[in-house]
Amino acid sequence: MTKLIFERNVSGANSFQLPPLDIPAAEGAGKIPTHLLRETPPDIPSVSEVELIRHYTELSKRAYGVDNGFYPLGSCTMKYNPKINEWAARLPGFTQIHPYQAPETVQGALQLLYDMGNMLGEITGMDHFTLQPAAGAHGEMTGVMMIKAYHNKRGDFKRTKMMVPDSAHGTNPATANVVGYEVIEIKSNERGLVDIDDLKAKMSDEVAGLMLTNPNTLGLFEEEIQSIAAIVHEGGGLLYYDGANLNAIMGVCRPGDMGFDVVHLNLHKTFSTPHGGGGPGSGPVGVKAFLADFLPKPVITKNGDQYGFDYDRPDSIGKVKNFYGNFGVIVRAYTYIMAVGHEGLKDACQQAVLNANYLRCHLQGKYHIPFDRLCKHEFVISARNQMEANHVATLDIAKRLLDYGYHPPTIYFPLIIKEAMMIEPTETESRERLDSFIAAMEKIAAEAMDDPRVVQDAPHTTVIGRVDEVTAARSPIVKWEA
Amino acid sequence: MNIPDELFYTESHEWIRIDGDKGYIGISDYAQHNLGDIVFVELPDIDIEVNAGDQFAVIESVKAVSDVYSPLSGTIIEVNENLEGSPELLNEDPYENYIAVVAFTDISEKEKLMSAEQYEAFCIEEDKK
């Protein structure tokens, strides 16, 4: 085990010296009331610079990201983040500006935001975008708040419920709940798609809308999307698109054309910006024109060749983020779109779908595949057979993958599939890389039959084996004590 | 799989034990087994009114967070506070450790619940999915 930084404390080891003050000392420091001042200095470990660097370098080697290897985390779209994105985000014209600067001095940055909104609109078939939300769930909240504002503006206060399929990402019901809706679950049918009869039965004048991911978390395209849209719209509700799986349709078809009224995107998924470790993310939200008045303010405007902010938006749901969103992330996503272009986006989508189907076809026979037909960018397999044969669970297989050098897929999700493993390779993986992953999965399937203990006791090669999740959840220790 | 005969069951895997004009509600052995190690139980407030099928408690396991639904309509009159400190009781004995007690208003709703025999058949079907 690596020592904690606190355990590396050696009194006096930190000999770092600040230079003498060459400006007048700030006045006012003595004005803080004494009861607000701490009496003892904070417990900051004393470590020399080289030991500090070694500590964090050692930790960084333990991290695993898409730059280390294959990372098929379903629904997370862990695609490679091109380094040109970093070059662009570090251009001094972007890094040396401040959000409080006058708009006329930051025209380039505003133009980028304005153009980005338009490009995302073109990709999704929506009329207007806000780039403020900080990540996906924040985008969902922004979108659902606009749906609520729309119904309220019409004096339609009866709509207190939001529909969500049982295969949805957990953030969907959570979002609806946070915005104040009662969540109604819509069943999936035997094909893994929205059960149209259940949807019809539950749609009413008390329902504000339906939150839908298309393709859904099983990687299956909602073929009845136009009927779904008609049922929701005829009932007076709005249709919300969770953009988690946009990589599956990007450049090929558009949520706006399917009848969606509100869309959120995850730039940190579909548009190749950093993802793990907090990103930070970016969750732009697009709306059809009839919802534009409710967009968060300020809205970026263009008059002639001048870009600026419009704060005069009386029906706006207000600001949802300080300043204008995670600007550096938006620059990276903008760079990605400009670098690959129209055809590149479509090609990325098609390669992602091809890679997913390639994996699916090669895992057939070794693993149970509940919906074994053409999928989009991801698919779900189950360890049901391994479980029945030798009590080898999905968790065991995921842990065993660590021994083979892979980040495991998403497990135990979606909830409607037992022993689920949700695999999303993304477009950036080569056939050779996919083949080596298939080989590892085949080996594990064989081990599960011939030598189940080696799987059940995995991982064998990592610094820490199985984490005691039960004790961690029941009696968490959340701070270090000497 | 343990399915006591004297209880009634729901498709969402709750059981209810009728005792005069109140009912003890818990989750089935099948439910606790499939949830895995339970790490947290969010109990309802006393005196809240529930309709049959309303969510009234939340169970968090290492695998998932699940809602618990009331088999009958009525008022929650008692909760099992032992579960707050010891959620694992639901794993250890899901029938001894109820979650809450409902003073039900309409015993005829019981007709919609499953007997032990029906519930066992239902679970077997669930496993095939």
Measured CA to CA, the distance from residue A53 to residue A60 in angstroms comes to: 10
* Closest by Cα among A444, A441, A446, A403 to A425: A441
- pLDDT computed for residue A27 by the predictor: 73
Confidence at residue A276, expressed as pLDDT on a 0 to 100 scale: 67
Lowest-confidence segment of A47-51, A336-340, B59-63 by average pLDDT = B59-63
Compute chain B's Rg from CA coordinates. Answer: 14
pLDDT at A16: 84
- Say whether B60 and A473 touch across the interface (CB within 8 A): yes
Section A427-441 average pLDDT: 98
What backbone torsions phi and psi does residue A288 show, to the nearest 5 degrees?
-75, 160
What is the CA angle A89-A92-A96, rounded to 5? 105
Shortest Cα–Cα distance, A136 to chain B (Å): 20
How large is the average pLDDT for residues B11-34? Answer: 96
Which CATH number among 3.90.700.10, 3.60.20.10, 3.40.640.10, 3.20.20.70 corresponds to the domain A84-339? Answer: 3.40.640.10
pLDDT of A15 reads: 81
Model confidence at A1, pLDDT cuts 50, 70, 90, reads low
Kindly report the CATH class assigned to A343-471. Answer: alpha beta
Strand partners, B92: none
Torsion (CA) B103, B106, B107, B113 in degrees, nearest 10? -100
Out of A28-32, A86-90, A336-340, which region has the weakest mean confidence (pLDDT)?
A28-32
Pick from A415, A418, A474: which is nearest to B39 by CB?
A474
Break chain B down into helix, strand, coil percent, rounded to 5: 25, 35, 40
| Contact at CB, A412 and B64, closer than 8 angstroms | yes
- Note the pLDDT of residue A271: 98
Whether residue A39 has pLDDT greater than 90: no
Smallest Cα distance from A293 to chain B, Å: 36
**How would residue A480 be classed by pLDDT, with cut points 50, 70 and 90?**
confident
Return residue ranges of chain A for CATH 3.40.640.10.
Answer: 84-339
The answer on pLDDT for A482 being more than 80 is: no
Closest by CA to A243, choosing from A364, A120, A351, is A120
Evaluate whether the domain defined by B8-124 bears CATH number 3.10.350.10. Answer: no
Which residue in B has a C-alpha nearest to residue A469's C-alpha?
A: B62
Q: What is the ipTM of this complex?
A: 0.70
Taking a C-beta distance cutoff of 8 angstroms, is the pair A147, A194 a contact?
no
* Residues of chain A contacting B129 with CB distance shorter than 8 Å: 418
Return the closest-CA partner of residue A409 out of A234, A265, A219, A270: A219
* Yes or no, beta carbons of A415 and B37 under 8 Å apart: no
pTM: 0.88
Query: Is A470–B129 a contact, with Cβ atoms under 8 angstroms apart?
Result: no
What single DSSP character describes residue A6? G
What is the distance between the alpha carbons of residues B98 and B14, in angstroms, rounded to a whole number? 10
Give A-chain residues touching B37 at CB under 8 angstroms. Answer: 469-470, 473
Write out the residue limits of the CATH 3.90.1150.10 domain(s) in chain A: 343-471
Mean of pLDDT values over A70-98: 96
Lowest mean pLDDT among A138-152, A293-307, A332-346, A405-419: A405-419
Other CB atoms within 10 Å distance of the CB of residue B52 = 19
- CA A164/CA A184 separation, integer angstroms: 6
DSSP tag of A18: P
**Contact in structure between A282 and A267 (CB atoms under 8 Å):** yes
Measured in residues, chain A has a length of 482
Residue B64 pLDDT: 81
Tell me which residue in A170, A469, A474 faces B87 most closely, judged by beta carbons: A474
* Residue-level pLDDT at A62: 87
Our separate counts of H helices and E strands in chain B read: 4, 9
pLDDT of residue A34: 84
Q: Does B88 sit within 8 Å of A469, measured CB to CB?
A: no
A448-475 tens-digit pLDDT = 999 999 999 999 999 889 988 888 888 8
Chain A residues with CB within 8 Å of chain B CB: 170, 412, 415, 418, 469-470, 473-474
Distance CA A121, CA A255 (A): 10
CB contact under 8 A, B39 and A470: yes
pLDDT in tens, A204-229: 999 999 999 999 999 999 999 999 99
pLDDT band (50, 70, 90) for residue A29:
low
With a pLDDT cut of 90, the percent of chain A lying above it is 85
Which residues of chain B lie closer than 8 angstroms to A412, CB-CB? 63-64
Q: Are A336 and A82 in contact (CB under 8 A)?
A: yes
- Say yes or no for a CB contact (<8 Å) between A470 and B62: yes
Q: What's the pLDDT score for residue A63?
A: 87
Provide, as residue numbers in chain B, all residues whose Cβ is less than 8 Å from the Cβ of A470: 37, 39, 62
Tokens 């003892």 locate to A40
Residue with tokens 């026979």: A365
Positive or negative torsion for Cα B71, B74, B78, B84: positive
Mean pLDDT score across all residues of chain B: 94
Long-range contacts from A168-174, C-beta under 8 angstroms, 24+ separation: A168/A211, A168/A212, A168/A213, A168/A216, A168/A217, A168/A242, A169/A75, A169/A213, A169/A217, A169/A242, A169/A244, A170/B65, A171/A136, A171/A137, A171/A140, A171/A242, A172/A140, A172/A211, A172/A213, A172/A242, A174/A137
Contact A355, A112 (CB under 8 A): no
Q: How much is the mean pLDDT over chain A?
A: 95
Task: State the residue for tokens 């607000």.
Answer: A36
Contact check, Cβ <8 Å, A415/B60: no
Q: What is the pLDDT of residues A228-278, one digit of tens each?
A: 999 999 999 999 999 999 999 999 999 999 999 999 999 999 999 998 666
Domain boundaries, chain B: 8-124
User: 10 Å Cβ neighbour count for A193?
Assistant: 22
Interchain contact, B87 vs A470, CB within 8 Å? no
Question: Average pLDDT of A305-329?
Answer: 96
Residue with tokens 């405007």: A301
Q: Quick one: pLDDT band at residue B53, thresholds 50, 70, 90?
A: very high
CA dist A197 and A187 (Å) reads 9
**Which candidate from A170, A412, A474 shows the least CB-CB separation from B63?**
A412
Cα maximum dimension of chain A: 76
Question: In this predicted structure, what is the pLDDT of residue A382?
Answer: 97
Handedness of CA B62, B63, B69, B71 (dihedral sign): negative
Confidence of residue A396 (pLDDT cuts 50, 70, 90): very high
Per-residue pLDDT for A56 more than 70?
yes
